[in-house]
Structure 1
Amino acid sequence: MDILNHIYNLPLKSIKFIDRKFSISSPKILIIGPSGSGKTSLVIDSLKRFKNEEKLYINLSDIRINSEQILDSLADFLSENRQIKTLAIDNINSEIQVNKITQILDKNLENIILATDKKSINLPNFKILNLNYLDYEEFIAFFRKNFDEDTLFSQFLSHGRSLASAFLDTSEVTESLQNSLKKNLNEISINILRECAIFQGQNLSAHELYKNLKEKMKISKDSVYGILNELEERGYISLVEKFNEPNSAKKLYFEDFGLRNALSFKKDFAKFFVNVVFCELFKFKEQVFYTKDFDFFLYKRKLAILSIPFGDSDLIFLKFKKLHANLKELGANRLQVITMGNSGELSIEGIKCEVVPFSRWALGL
């Protein structure tokens, strides 16, 4: 109880914050997002609306506290301090913690804000806010530099999508991302994530990944599969399903494309660029697929996407003509080809091919 009283009297930490596309608009909200997506910044900014004596912020990842004991004592503490109307609990990481939190939901609280990086966590009667990393439009707002379009895009590629990275010099990004990984993951998980970099934009073979790891360390196949599931659950990687073939191999992408360069010196700009395009598709809030011929396919929008950073428009249109029958078979009425700078448009029998530079495409989504 003394520790809770100490936490209650601590001032909220100062944060750099710029309005995002997301806001806390419900009295009971569960924020779900990967580490570095800005959950804590959003929570603390929201708490600034309330008087100091009316709010309590608890960070369960604070190593100075025993999170289980804190949660066990919380109900009694709130009963003794009825002036607290708003409770925020950050970095929830287990179902045990969730179960303990549900025991205080009937207290005299007007607002409850919870935050976690676990996609599977759910609480009845709570509105869920899925908070992703910065998209390109948000990055420009955060970066706040009067650069031209090409320079801003170059900075985006160098910084990645993490909220913290947007405020850093390019030379500081890799170290910052690596420190975040060391803080949030154990050594085995980091080694597996590093091996994932080999499969960026490719079909993931968990068995091949296991064989690569087994040559370097002692690890079981079950551990590899379990950690891959955890990395996806916590928003480090996304595994994209093949359209109409759920049992086929899935393609691997990083939810923050900037992680790739923090994990490996090897460069493959074409695969990196496909990952950059993939990250912008989170805006659509719908399942993304891939097909044999297209990097991405959004079934509900009848939209196929190819990432060709340096393709000539005439060659792209030639490719479009060859793929026209495949698009028709998919039921797509639009093909978007995302490039570094080329643009153009061509329609054939009701199917439109749009060649669009990334900057213009991302800002128009």
Structure 2
Amino acid sequence: MLDALYNLSYKKSNLISRKYQITSSFTIVKGAGKTGKTSIIKQYLSFLPSDSYLYIDLQDLRIDKAIIKEELPQFCIDNKIHTLVIEAYEEDIDLPNVSAVILSTEEDLHIEGFTRLNVYNLDFEEFLAFDSRYDTLDNAFTHFLQTSSYPELYFVHQDHRQKQLQNILKLSLNPLELQIMMHSAKLLGQKVSAFQMFERLKLQQKLSKDMFYKTFYSLMEKGYLYWVQKFEHSRATKKLYTLDFNIKNTLTLQKDFSRLFETLVFLEMLKRGSEIYYADGIDFYLPKENRIVLTMPFSNEDVLFKKIEGIEAFIIENGVLHVEVVTMNAETKLGLPYAIVDMMPFVKWAIVEGEED
């Protein structure tokens, strides 16, 4: 079996480059299902001699894990394997002594000596690389909103994309995980606790508290769900977000563009590893960067003035230097005595945000 896998090679393909690169010989590529981990790994392998590496995907139904565990160390010695790749890695598989090991996982895996590369779905800049046929950024953004941030959906006909995203989630999640995701989609961007989620979900199905909490926090660890904590109020109810802005439209019939837009902005910042909080009247506060990010898709200057008045005390007390107001189209700049306020369209804001990576 290992001989058959060894004879496969990954020549340089037409894979579109992401913002991620494997730069360490010992790397854990961490991310939720279908976020692009495999493409990143195969692009890395495409630059290596085909006889120097062994690629194993434990989710491949043809693979016998028992054989892998038994034969892998000697096989690597006999064939002078330089680079070993194991996708969907499980910790009960001993790693042989080779020069480079690349592992992929959804789990919160830590191994001494390994660098972790966290992979997310496409941000707007990456989407532009995937689909460059649009004559304006506004047209491209409209298409981005209508689709999703999942990479593989850009190779699916638009009539089938929503169904395909449902299929991705069905294949990636067990039944309880999927139920929690469906419920989370209804609460997107809202303040909600795990206990409140459990209380609502148990009205619909028989469910043990232990199993719910285990599954809910597993979805957090895997990167399907995210919480944003209230600034300086660690016990306050957190705001809930999903790994893709279009999951709400995919898993529910509810329409709430403001929540979708807010999630979109959050996900753009998430990739940078920023420390993100919320506060009263403030969508996102990044204390280490002395900035606030507000999402106001259909706003104008008059509404903006009233909004700034409402959070003026917070801005001054916390030394905020920059307030960014993300909109669909509106653009203006306010020079206040205590901070600079930039209102700008998402397409402009996202590109500036991406340059910070």
> Shift in Å at residue 288 of structure 1?
0.8
Give the equivalent residue in structure 2 for 1:255. Answer: 243
**Alignment check: 8 A CA contact 2:11 2:47 kept:** no
> Shift in Å at residue 212 of structure 1?
2.5
More deviation, 305-314/171-180: 171-180
Amino acid of the residue matched to residue 233 of structure 2? E
Alignment equivalent of 1:159, drawn from 133, 143, 147? 147
- Which deviations, in whole Å up to 9, do the C-alpha atoms of 1:282-323 show, x marking residues without a partner? 243122111112000001001111111101122212321332
Alignment equivalent of 1:101, drawn from 86, 94, 103? 94
Give the equivalent residue in structure 2 for 1:24. Answer: 22
Instruction: Within 5 Å, give how 1:243-282 maps onto structure 2.
Output: 243-282=231-270
**Alignment check: 8 A CA contact 1:143 1:167 kept:** no
Aligned-partner SS, 1:290:
strand
Give the equivalent residue in structure 2 for 1:182. Answer: 170
Q: Does 1:48 align with 2:42?
A: no
Give the equivalent residue in structure 2 for 1:115. Answer: 104
How many Å separate the matches in 2 of 1:258 and 1:42?
23
Alignment equivalent of 1:91, drawn from 72, 84, 88? 88
> Shift in Å at residue 13 of structure 1?
9.2
Aligned-partner SS, 1:100:
coil
Amino acid of the residue matched to residue 8 of structure 1? Y
How many Å separate the matches in 1 of 2:67 and 2:284?
47
**Alignment check: 8 A CA contact 1:72 1:100 kept:** no
> Shift in Å at residue 168 of structure 1?
2.7
> Shift in Å at residue 25 of structure 1?
1.6
**Alignment check: 8 A CA contact 1:317 1:346 kept:** no
Give the equivalent residue in structure 1 for 2:306. Answer: 318
How many Å separate the matches in 2 of 1:121 and 1:347?
46
> Shift in Å at residue 75 of structure 1?
0.9
Q: Does 1:345 align with 2:344?
A: no
How many Å separate the matches in 2 of 1:326 and 1:319?
12
> Shift in Å at residue 220 of structure 1?
1.1
Amino acid of the residue matched to residue 30 of structure 1? I
Give the equivalent residue in structure 2 for 1:36. Answer: 34
How many Å separate the matches in 2 of 1:15 and 1:233?
32
Aligned-partner SS, 1:315:
helix
Give the equivalent residue in structure 2 for 1:355. Answer: 343
> Shift in Å at residue 340 of structure 1?
0.5
> Shift in Å at residue 166 of structure 1?
2.7
> Shift in Å at residue 14 of structure 1?
9.1
Amino acid of the residue matched to residue 230 of structure 1? S
Instruction: Within 5 Å, give how 1:165-244 maps onto structure 2.
Output: 165-244=153-232
- Which deviations, in whole Å up to 9, do the C-alpha atoms of 1:253-304 show, x marking residues without a partner? 1121122222112111111110011011024312211111200000100111
How many Å separate the matches in 2 of 1:352 and 1:68?
61
Give the equivalent residue in structure 1 for 2:134. Answer: 146
**Alignment check: 8 A CA contact 1:89 1:114 kept:** yes
Give the equivalent residue in structure 1 for 2:291. Answer: 303
Structure 1 residues 217 and 356, CA gap change in structure 2 (3 angstroms): same
How many Å separate the matches in 1 of 2:13 and 2:235?
44
How many Å separate the matches in 1 of 2:61 and 2:32?
20
> Shift in Å at residue 76 of structure 1?
1.9
Alignment length (residue pairs): 353
- Which deviations, in whole Å up to 9, do the C-alpha atoms of 1:8-57 show, x marking residues without a partner? 22344996511122212222221112212211001111111222222110
Q: What TM-score results when the alignment is normalised by the length of structure 2?
A: 0.94
How many Å separate the matches in 1 of 2:327 and 2:194?
31
**Alignment check: 8 A CA contact 2:329 2:345 kept:** yes
Aligned-partner SS, 2:264:
helix
**Alignment check: 8 A CA contact 2:282 2:311 kept:** no
Aligned-partner SS, 2:34:
coil
Structure 1 residues 205 and 127, CA gap change in structure 2 (3 angstroms): closer
Q: Where does the alignment leave 5 or more consecutive residues of structure 1 unmatched?
A: none
- Which deviations, in whole Å up to 9, do the C-alpha atoms of 1:303-361 show, x marking residues without a partner? 11111110112221232133212211232111111111101111222311111111100
Q: Where does the alignment leave 5 or more consecutive residues of structure 2 unmatched?
A: none
Aligned-partner SS, 2:63:
coil
> Shift in Å at residue 130 of structure 1?
1.5
> Shift in Å at residue 66 of structure 1?
3.1
**Alignment check: 8 A CA contact 2:26 2:100 kept:** yes
> Shift in Å at residue 234 of structure 1?
1.0
Following TM superposition, where does structure 1 have runs of at least 4 consecutive aligned residues deviating by more than 3 angstroms? 10-16
> RMSD of the alignment, in Å?
1.8
- Which deviations, in whole Å up to 9, do the C-alpha atoms of 1:50-79 show, x marking residues without a partner? 222221100011122233541342112212
Structure 1 residues 121 and 21, CA gap change in structure 2 (3 angstroms): same
More deviation, 166-175/284-293: 166-175
Identity percentage of aligned residues: 32
Aligned-partner SS, 2:2:
helix
Amino acid of the residue matched to residue 286 of structure 2? L
